[in-house]
Amino acid sequence: MSVSITEDIKTVSDLKTNTGDIFKQLHRTGRPIIVTVNGKPDAVLIDVGVFEKKLKALNMSALIAVAETDVRERRTRPAREFLKELRRSAKA
């Protein structure tokens, strides 16, 4: 996720006085806005669509990490065996 240092860093005062414009920029660019307080980064605003995509990717990577551990520790079985069991349980 890219950030434009000249456009995407705003003070909390900017946020208070130009909220509408800042939100328009946020939605138009898809880039996060870094809000500073007393010259230091304090919060990040992010478009909800971008946030949802990042959250899905983060959740997927957590699931993949668990699966990779299972493979590494040989806690797997052939797909055909699993599918047969799945079919049997669906009939029951």
Q: Could you tell me if 16 and 35 are in contact, meaning their C-beta atoms sit under 8 angstroms apart?
A: no
pTM confidence score: 0.67
Domain segments of the chain as ranges: 9-46, 49-91
Question: Smallest Cα–Cα separation from 49: which of 17, 1, 11?
Answer: 1
Q: What is the Cα–Cα distance from 86 to 81, expressed in whole angstroms?
A: 9
Q: Could you tell me if 69 and 49 are in contact, meaning their C-beta atoms sit under 8 angstroms apart?
A: no
Q: Could you tell me if 14 and 22 are in contact, meaning their C-beta atoms sit under 8 angstroms apart?
A: yes
Q: What is the Cα–Cα distance from 49 to 55, expressed in whole angstroms?
A: 10
How does pLDDT run along the chain (92 residues), one tens digit per residue? 788 888 999 999 999 999 999 999 999 999 999 999 999 999 999 999 999 999 999 999 999 999 999 999 999 999 999 999 999 999 87
